């Protein structure tokens, strides 16, 4: 497996493979790889001839008071993990390589959805995500890209961007990978103390309880939402938001749920660590 750090080198490496008809899969990450990322890599390896894992801590999707500086950085370990799963290349550009003129003035954005849910509390976050993802698509020329469903709003926005801007790439959603306890795997789980890790189960337990209630016939959006909120609060978490949204449009649901498929989106703090999770209601 090869680590590539320049855009030109990646293009020169992948171009002949594309000409041979090889199907190229891209797994965009910010590093600190865990089993959740591993599931994305496995999916790419199974679907594609060549798998590229990008490791790039994208500064333009972090706010001023967020955890960019303390975000885990371990390229060598990430590369070994990616190689062990079957990745062919790791693309690990510097910030200077990706943004040679500083923060870009040309940004990709969704004016309606970028300011909802996570975007309401992280201004500019999704502009940064969509911009860097579009750059990675164009740099790699990948046929397929793989994203985890834990970041539900993110993958929805990426799918919408691909459709709206006619990117010639197929987006694959990969199911949430959870720890044995049920906690969704995240690089930020490393920040949790043992006590906070136990408390953080409040978010997953609340989502499970809400789904059980839904499957038993509960259709009140407020009651479904309150089930999750109460579970987080009981676990000593601080709720940032809990919302029920349409899987088709990602717009908030109100009143009573009908036949349209919905998803519960949640974000909460346990200690100083912000975690997100979701549960589809089908």
pLDDT at residue 26 is higher than 90: yes
pLDDT tens digits, one per residue of 146-171: 999 999 999 999 999 999 999 999 99
Residue with tokens 């197929």: 170
pLDDT at residue 35 is higher than 90: yes
Beta-carbon contacts of residue 268 (< 8 Å; ≥ 6 apart):
202, 203, 232, 237, 238, 239, 240, 274, 275
**Is 72 or 264 the better-scoring residue by pLDDT?**
264
Query: Into which CATH architecture does domain 187-281 fall?
Result: 2-Layer Sandwich (3.30)
Looking at residue 168, its pLDDT comes to 98
pLDDT at residue 70 is higher than 90: no
Task: State the average pLDDT over residues 82-101.
Answer: 98
Class of domain 2-174 (CATH, top level):
alpha beta
Of 34, 37, 125, 172, which one is the catalytic site residue? Answer: 37
pLDDT at residue 67 is higher than 90: no
Domain spans in the chain, listed from the N-terminal domain onward: 2-174, 187-281
Looking at residue 157, its pLDDT comes to 98
| Three-class secondary structure of residue 159 per DSSP | helix
* Class of residue 112 by CB neighbours under 10 A (exposed 0-12, middle 13-18, buried 19+): exposed
DSSP 186: -
Looking at residue 21, its pLDDT comes to 98
pLDDT tens digits, one per residue of 124-140: 999 999 999 999 999 99
Q: What percent of the chain has pLDDT over 90?
A: 96
Give the containing element (helix H, strand E) for 96.
helix 95-98
pLDDT tens digits, one per residue of 173-208: 999 999 999 999 999 999 999 999 999 999 999 999
Q: What percent of the chain has pLDDT over 70?
A: 100
- Would you call 125 a catalytic residue per the annotation? no
Other beta carbons within 10 Å of 260: 11
Task: State the average pLDDT over residues 205-234.
Answer: 98
Give the containing element (helix H, strand E) for 274.
strand 273-281
Q: Is the pTM of this model over 0.75?
A: yes
| Res. 64 pLDDT band, cuts 50 70 90 | confident
């Amino acid at each position: 497996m090869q680590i590539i750090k320049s855009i030109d080198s990646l293009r020169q490496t992948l171009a002949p493979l594309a000409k041979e008809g090889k199907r190229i899969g891209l797994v965009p990450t910010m590093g600190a790889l865990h089993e959740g990322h591993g599931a994305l890599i496995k999916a790419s390896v199974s679907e594609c001839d060549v798998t590229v894992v990008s490791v790039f801590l994208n500064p333009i999707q972090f706010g001023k008071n967020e955890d960019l500086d303390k975000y885990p950085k371990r390229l060598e370990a990430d590369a070994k993990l990616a190689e062990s799963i079957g990745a062919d290349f790791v693309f690990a550009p510097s910030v200077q390589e990706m943004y040679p003129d500083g923060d870009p003035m040309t940004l990709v954005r969704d004016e309606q959805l970028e300011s909802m849910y996570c975007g309401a509390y992280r201004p500019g976050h999704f502009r940064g995500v969509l911009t860097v993802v579009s750059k990675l698509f164009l740099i790699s020329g990948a046929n397929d890209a793989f994203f985890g469903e834990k970041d539900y709003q993110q993958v929805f926005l990426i799918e919408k961007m691909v459709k709206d801007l006619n990117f010639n790439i197929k987006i694959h959603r990969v199911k949430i990978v959870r720890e044995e306890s049920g906690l969704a795997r995240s690089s930020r789980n490393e920040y949790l103390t043992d006590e906070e890790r136990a408390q953080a189960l409040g978010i997953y337990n609340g989502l499970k309880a809400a789904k059980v209630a839904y499957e038993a016939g509960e259709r009140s959006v407020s009651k479904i939402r309150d089930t999750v909120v109460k579970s987080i609060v009981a676990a000593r978490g601080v709720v940032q938001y809990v919302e029920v949204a349409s899987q088709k449009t990602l717009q908030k649901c109100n009143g009573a749920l009908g036949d349209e498929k919905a998803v519960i989106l949640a974000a909460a703090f346990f200690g100083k660590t912000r975690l997100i999770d979701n549960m589809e209601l089908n």
